[in-house]
Structure 1
Amino acid sequence: MRVAAIDCGTNSVRLLVADLGGAELVEVERRMEIVRLGQGVDRTGRLAPDALERTFAAMRGYRELIDRHGASATRVVATSATRDAANRHEFVDGVREIFGVEPEVISGAEEAELSFEGATKGLARLSPETGMPEGPLPPYLVVDVGGGSTEFVVGSEHVYGALSVDIGCVRLAERHLRDAGDPPSAAALEAVVADIEAALDSVAEAVPVGDAHTLVGLAGSVTTIAGIALGLPAYDPERIHHSRVSAEQVHEVTRRLLAMTHGERAAIPVMHPGRVDVIGAGALILDRIVRRFAFSQVVVSEHDILDGIALSIDQKSR
């Protein structure tokens, strides 16, 4: 059946229309708009009226696409910013009016499960010549660097360890980098790193990261870093998907981004305008993960929670 999945995060709202047959997805259309729904949530605890309207405007456009493609089932999922907001009922009411379905404000644990399912589908494969596994080896540590939170998930075919922590590119940029200079001061960057390391302490205690053979990185901060490391002249999801970025490249790209001005970051060919002010915090999150857990590289996936949401629709409809 044809399904529509919508992921409403802290920074972006995304749509996937796909044909779902069993456990396989055939992509029909994929869209992303940066709406910054989580603007100010870390400080105020509420979704701002203008952020809600930006989000609803994007969703109205998505509703038109869903109708045009004839999707028979839609699932709308919201994550960190909406979980944290005291007025999340305003978001829920607006989404229900647009799509006619109840949006699901999911827990960090369910977010982690959906991210893992979407990211690892098709990652492990058998060689047609030998019949033996090739490509990145499980167990995987899937890291979804979002706007408000980052999910850490360890598993092979199934998840057996997961934790969502409140470090994300928007949250940390708003908390420490908004008035920290251009480029940001050393003191501000140290404050970002301190928050990240405190979260990673929790991850190290709760998640069996040491079991993982492969680090899989998801979401816009990670894919943007990959695009920069690859030297792409424009954002190219096909070249970024399943690319491998070495630890040295992660460190180098992070150093470059943190030394740049806002204008210099905006001029990077693969940089989406909505990521310019938060990419430094996002890069630092990935950088500290690679350092802390001693991975030699990150496998980058363009498939993530959005794909997991789409794959889950058949199960939820039974």
Structure 2
Amino acid sequence: MIIIINNTVAVIDIGSNSIRLMIAKIEGQSIKELVKELETTRMGEGLGKSGYIKPDATYKSLSVLSHYLDLIENYGAKLCSVIGTSALREASNSKDFLKKVKHKLGIEVEVISGTKEALLSAKGALYDKTPEKYLVFDLGGGSLELINKDVELVKSIQIGAVKMYEKFSDYTGYVDLDKIYNEVMKVLETNIEYNKLGLGSKEYLVGVGGTATTFAMLDQKLIQYDHNKIQEYYISNERISEITLRLNNLSLEERKKVAGMPKNREDIIVSGGGVLWALLDYLSYDGYYASDRDLLYGMIFEEISRRLNT
């Protein structure tokens, strides 16, 4: 019997700020990226106060997922995995959302733990790297993950760019950066014992997630997203603080015109910068290396592992 395996695969990540798709070709144990899409849906908007996903976010998410299914079909890809992260972990109406997605689109969504999210992010970020040299962080809309495989540190903390914006902004775009800094420091100190981070042997800090890559774009004033210019780009905490302070003094409309600003990120980018600023200070790193190989890559590596073990 001849078994034909479809080597063109697709994975979807339903996050607090956006829904992302990646279609790739598996070549042995390597990944050839074919398509990467991101649509802002703000699943986590208002979640801290209301505790539930808003109807508008549900409607937009269903529309985005339907569009992604069309793209997957056009590429003849196999949809391997659809995961939900922070917003779907926390929302009181998560099950209702999952039922709607299953009923209308036939998609089974796996809501993963913060620990699994962290491990998948690290797996993607450390593609082609020596794990022993790296500490990885993944800053999303609703959570922050920290991974140091040497000391088996895997932490998921409820700090994110969207959450901090909603908590410390006046909704004109301006945020209280001092309050964000203090909040992040307090939460990190409460959740992580610094002397157990195992930082001594770590030569590099790798940052994944929309905030980490956006600051790499802003520092280079990139008009269009360019993987080759983002991947392994180093940005210092000094530049992060400079950019964050400058943006905080601009209106939302003015931020849209700043070179390197992605669409629909002009509101939460300052709060994200505030989290980065505090995180790097807490970890005593002068900067980080950006990576756009993240959770999506980790999901495809998981598919490769499944195939090797069957």
Match of residue 139, structure 1, among 116, 130, 133: 133
Q: Are the equivalent residues in 2 in contact too, given 1:2–1:70 (CA < 8 A)?
A: yes
Show CA shifts across 1:182-241 (max 9, x none): 534xxx332222221122213531751524321101111111111111232433232111
Deviation of the 1:12 alpha carbon: 0.6
Q: CA RMSD in A?
A: 2.0
SS of 2:193's equivalent in the other structure is helix
AA in 2 matched with 1:148: G
- Which one-letter code corresponds to 2:162 in the other structure? V
Bigger CA drift: 11-20 or 91-100?
91-100
Task: Specify which of 264, 270, 274 is matched with residue 260 of structure 2.
Answer: 270
Query: What residue is the counterpart of 1:253 in the other structure?
Result: 243
Give the partner amino acid of 1:140: Y
Q: Which position in structure 2 is the counterpart of 1:238?
A: 228
Match of 1:89 in 2: 95
Correspondent of 2:128 among 116, 122, 132:
122
1:183 to 159, 174, 177: 174
Work out which of the residue numbers 152, 157, 160 in structure 2 matches 1:168. Answer: 160
Confirm or deny: 8 A CA contact 2:72 2:79 kept in the other structure: no
TM-score (ref. length: structure 1): 0.88
Query: Following TM superposition, where does structure 1 have runs of at least 4 consecutive aligned residues deviating by more than 6 angstroms?
Result: none
Deviates more, 1:27-36 or 1:17-26: 17-26
Query: How many percent of aligned residue pairs carry the same amino acid?
Result: 31
Q: 2:113 aligns with which of 107, 112, 134?
A: 107
Work out whether residues 148 and 197 of structure 2, in 8 Å CA contact, stay in contact via their aligned partners in 1.
yes
Moved more, 235-244 or 213-222: 235-244
Whole-angstrom CA distance in 2 between matches of 1:15 and 1:98? 19
**What per-residue deviation string (whole Å, max 9, x for no partner) do you get for residues 20-69 of structure 1?**
24431111111111111111111111111110111111110000011111
Aligned to 1:130: none
3-state DSSP class of the match of 1:268? Answer: coil
Equivalent AA in structure 1 for residue 197 of structure 2: P
Distance in 2 of aligned mates of 1:280 and 1:46:
25
Q: 1:6 to 1:272 in 2, by over 3 A?
A: same
- Name the structure 1 match of 2:149: 155
Structure 1: how far apart are the matches of 2:228 and 2:8?
Answer: 23
1:45 and 1:278, CA in 2 relative to 1: closer, same or farther beyond 3 A? same
In structure 2, do the counterparts of structure 1 residues 91 and 63 end up closer, same or farther at CA, with 3 Å as the change threshold? Answer: same
Instruction: Report the secondary structure of 2:152's partner residue.
Output: strand
Q: How does 1:288-307 map to 2 (within 5 A)?
A: 288-307=278-297
Q: How far apart, CA to CA, are the structure 1 residues paired with 2:203 and 2:294? A: 19
- For this pair of structures, how many residues does the alignment match? 300
Q: Is the 8 A contact 1:59 1:98 kept in 2?
A: no
Alpha-carbon contact 1:74-1:101 (below 8 Å) kept: no
- Work out whether residues 20 and 311 of structure 1, in 8 Å CA contact, stay in contact via their aligned partners in 2: no
8 Å contact from structure 2 (residues 220, 260) kept in 1: no
- Change beyond 3 A, Cα 1:22–1:98: farther
- Out of 186, 197, 211, the residue aligned to residue 208 of structure 1 is 197
For 1:236, the aligned partner's letter is D
- Identify unmatched segments of 5+ residues in structure 2: 1-6
- Counterpart of 1:199 (choices 187, 200, 205) is 187
Aligned partners of 1:215, 1:308: CA distance in 2, in Å?
Answer: 18
| Aligned residue identity for 1:183 | Y
Q: Which moves more between the two structures, 95-104 or 293-302?
A: 95-104
Q: CA–CA distance in 1 between the matches of 2:120 and 2:173?
A: 37
CA distance in 2, matches of 1:239, 1:227: 8
What TM-score do you get using the length of structure 2 for normalisation? 0.90
| Paired amino acid for 1:95 | V
Structure 1 distance, partners of 2:288, 2:104, is 38
Q: Deviations over 1:147-204 (max 9, x none)?
A: 0001011126xx821100011000110112144x5534xxx33222222112221353
CA distance in 2, matches of 1:297, 1:202: 23
**Residues 242-271 of structure 1, C-alpha deviation per residue, up to 9 Å, x if partnerless?**
111123222222222222222221111221
Structure 1 residues 172 and 204, CA gap change in structure 2 (3 angstroms): same
Q: Partner amino acid for 1:306?
A: L
Q: Is the 8 A contact 1:141 1:209 kept in 2?
A: no
Shift of the alpha carbon at 1:305?
0.4
What is the rounded CA distance, in whole Å, between the counterparts of 2:48 and 2:173 in structure 1?
A: 22
